[in-house]
Amino acid sequence: MDNFTASLPLMLKQLKLSTMLQQWNTLGKKAIEEQWSPQQYLSELCHVELATRDDKRLQRLLKNAKLPVGKHLISKLSL
């Protein structure tokens, strides 16, 4: 294991990039197999991180909205 490989998880954790931390190795292997450019690899890591953050944000907002059981945002919008 080289110095970059050893320090990357620590840096991702410090930067609070939890999804990147979980996915960097798996996506790295896929990137090698599919011969992605470094830009493609980084773009995919960022995309996964942003998608996860968006999902968590939506879940947090829905929880904080305290909608009645069985009600959803869509039913509120269609009134």
Q: Which band of pLDDT confidence, cut at 50, 70 and 90, is reported for residue 70?
A: confident
pLDDT of the residue at 1: 59
Higher-pLDDT residue of 56, 76: 56
Instruction: Round to whole Å and give the CA distance between 24 and 48.
Output: 10
C-alpha 9/C-alpha 50 separation (Å) is 18
Residue 38 has a pLDDT of 96
**Paired tokens of 37:** 């450019």
pLDDT tens digits, 45-69:
999 999 999 999 999 998 898 877 7
Mean residue pLDDT of the chain comes to 89
- CB count within 10 Å of CB 20 equals 21
